[in-house]
């Protein structure tokens, strides 16, 4: 199966080399960060987590969203998703690897990471995050790999992976819930201190993940001519995106109502900073407004059935929904939580160039993983000895 990675046309090798170059630049910047310290980033005493941890949060969501293709197939035996599941799982694998990499690049002493295993600390949410993320990676590798091999050999997947696949369902919910608990359990940060964090994370994941999956699959179809499902399957996926996006928008409305109607200054301050600017500081404002605009645009495009059936408009809608989450969960939500700081002051955050290069490098690693896995997966589906 692995030999399929090494067989490809010119376009394939140009794409792989491009990704390797981006990874190389990111890695060089990471080496620079290792030798100089995290001071090369835009993070500070006040905004002590930045783009890295925000992107980590986003990627956990993308990983959890594999659930949206697994549930219809596994629990409802929805035939259109039979071939889709493997691709959802492969995207989840890439997303978990990226999430783990985002944590590794963020810690100040990466060589000490195993201290988390040597000194297990059940009262720390990061302890559970380590368990659920690595467990989820394992589940997806086991299920995805065995499905692929079975496809290749033209036999049904082994029966023993069925319970593992079922275990993946609550596990996917767990990874994003625990990630939300990292934030909402902190007494110091009013923006995050909300019981809605976990439900909001899940809703955001279940719209942005399938949206990204569709974008990737449309691209795959363009390049290889292979489609794991037909238009009806994509329409189902689009409706899933739509429902989750509406729920997420509703949650945002709830957050605003609670903060502004209660009129508690501490609860309002971060929201004001993010969407309107506070005390003359509004660096996040354009991003947050764009994010909300993207969300509403995506929902409107998906809401009208004839627009949704148009492949171009559907792609725009998926891109808008993904950008909404990229800007909100992958940037604004984490940064906004630190502003204002515990002293009521504002220290703004801007990622630096090397910081962005490292993040791009991680994205390129994710893209490379997806490229390799999809290459093998499509080969198995197409050329396998299927009856």
Partner 1 sequence: MGVSRREFLKLAGLTAALGLGTGTAFELLAPGQVEAGEYLRSENALKAKQWALVFDVKKCLEHGEDCRICIDACINEHNIPQFDNPLHEIKWIWKDLYRHAFTDMDNEYVNDFYKDKPFVLLCNHCGEPPCVRVCPTQATFKRPDGIVMQDLHRCIGCRFCMAACPYGSRNFNWLDPRPHIVHYNPKYPTRRRGVVEKCIFCNEKIDLGLRPVCVDACPVGAIIFGDLYDPNSPVRQVLRKRFSIRRKLELGTKPSMFYLI
| Interface with partner 1 (CB under 8 A) | 36-39, 41-46, 48-49, 103, 106-110, 112-113, 115-127, 130, 182-183, 185-189, 266, 337-338, 341-345, 347
Q: How far apart are CA 169 and CA 74, in angstroms?
A: 9
Residue among 132 and 299 whose Cβ is closer to partner 1: 132
Residue among 20 and 186 whose Cβ is closer to partner 1: 186
First to last CA, the chain: 19
Residue among 267 and 341 whose Cβ is closer to partner 1: 341
List for the chain the helix, strand, coil content (%; round to 5).
75, 0, 25
Residue 377's CB is within 10 A of a number of other CB atoms, namely: 27
- In the complex, least distance from residue 157 CB atom to partner 1, rounded to whole angstroms: 21
Q: Are 206 and 65 in contact (CB under 8 A)?
A: yes
Residue among 126 and 227 whose Cβ is closer to partner 1: 126
Residue 219's CB is within 10 A of a number of other CB atoms, namely: 12
- In the complex, least distance from residue 34 CB atom to partner 1, rounded to whole angstroms: 9
Residue 39 is given by DSSP the state G
- In the complex, least distance from residue 22 CB atom to partner 1, rounded to whole angstroms: 26
Q: How many CA atoms lie within 13 A of 129 on its CB side?
A: 21
Q: Are 42 and 355 in contact (CB under 8 A)?
A: yes
Residue among 108 and 225 whose Cβ is closer to partner 1: 108
Q: How far apart are CA 53 and CA 334, in angstroms?
A: 8
Residue among 48 and 310 whose Cβ is closer to partner 1: 48
Q: How far apart are CA 316 and CA 296, in angstroms?
A: 12
- In the complex, least distance from residue 355 CB atom to partner 1, rounded to whole angstroms: 12
Q: How far apart are CA 315 and CA 324, in angstroms?
A: 14
Residue among 334 and 379 whose Cβ is closer to partner 1: 334
- In the complex, least distance from residue 187 CB atom to partner 1, rounded to whole angstroms: 4
Residue among 338 and 363 whose Cβ is closer to partner 1: 338
- In the complex, least distance from residue 71 CB atom to partner 1, rounded to whole angstroms: 30
Q: How far apart are CA 32 and CA 17, in angstroms?
A: 23
- Among candidates 141, 55, 7, 50, which has minimal Cα distance to 361? 55
Q: How far apart are CA 365 and CA 96, in angstroms?
A: 12
Cis peptide bond N-terminal to 150, omega within 30: no
Residue among 238 and 359 whose Cβ is closer to partner 1: 359
Residue among 11 and 119 whose Cβ is closer to partner 1: 119
- In the complex, least distance from residue 134 CB atom to partner 1, rounded to whole angstroms: 12
- In the complex, least distance from residue 113 CB atom to partner 1, rounded to whole angstroms: 6
Helix H or strand E segment including 375? helix 353-383
- Among candidates 342, 338, 303, which has minimal Cα distance to 320? 303
SS3 label, residue 278: strand
Q: Are 362 and 26 in contact (CB under 8 A)?
A: yes
Q: Are 4 and 379 in contact (CB under 8 A)?
A: yes
- In the complex, least distance from residue 278 CB atom to partner 1, rounded to whole angstroms: 14
- In the complex, least distance from residue 83 CB atom to partner 1, rounded to whole angstroms: 30
């Amino acid at each position: 199966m692995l030999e399929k990675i090494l067989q490809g046309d010119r376009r394939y090798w140009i794409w792989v080399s491009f990704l390797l170059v981006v990874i190389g630049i990111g890695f060089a910047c990471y080496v620079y960060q290792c030798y100089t310290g995290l001071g090369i980033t835009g993070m500070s005493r006040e905004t002590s987590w930045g783009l890295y941890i925000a992107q980590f949060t986003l990627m956990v969501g993308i990983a959890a969203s594999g659930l949206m293709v697994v549930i219809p197939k596994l629990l409802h035996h929805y035939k259109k998703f039979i071939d889709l599941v493997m691709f959802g799982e492969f995207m989840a694998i890439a997303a978990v690897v990226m999430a783990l990499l985002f944590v590794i690049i963020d810690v100040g002493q990466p060589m000490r990471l195993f201290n988390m295993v040597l000194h297990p600390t059940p009262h720390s949410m990061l302890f559970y995050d380590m368990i659920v993320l690595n467990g989820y990676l394992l589940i997806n590798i086991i299920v995805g790999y065995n499905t692929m091999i079975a496809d290749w050999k033209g036999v049904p997947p082994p029966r023993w992976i069925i319970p593992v696949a079922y275990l993946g369902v609550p596990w996917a919910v767990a990874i994003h819930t625990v990630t939300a608990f990292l934030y909402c359990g902190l007494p110091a940060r009013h923006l995050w201190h909300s019981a809605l964090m976990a439900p909001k994370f899940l809703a955001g994941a279940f719209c942005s993940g399938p949206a990204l999956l569709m974008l990737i699959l449309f691209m795959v179809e363009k390049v290889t001519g292979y489609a794991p499902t037909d238009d009806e399957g994509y329409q189902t996926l689009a409706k899933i995106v739509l429902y989750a996006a509406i729920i997420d928008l509703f949650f945002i409305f709830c957050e605003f109502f609670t903060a502004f109607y209660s009129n508690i200054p501490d609860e309002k301050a971060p929201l004001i900073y993010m969407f309107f600017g506070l005390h003359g500081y509004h660096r996040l404002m354009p991003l947050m407004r764009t994010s909300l605009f993207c969300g509403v645009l995506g929902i409107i495009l998906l809401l009208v059935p004839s627009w949704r059936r148009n492949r171009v408009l559907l792609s725009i809608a998926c891109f808008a929904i993904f950008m909404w989450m990229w800007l909100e969960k992958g940037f604004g939500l984490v940064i906004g939580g630190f502003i204002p700081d515990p002293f009521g002051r504002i220290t703004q955050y801007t990622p630096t160039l090397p910081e962005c290069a490292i993040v791009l490098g991680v994205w390129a690693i994710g893209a490379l993983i997806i490229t390799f896995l999809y290459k093998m997966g499509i080969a198995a589906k197409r050329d396998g000895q299927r009856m």
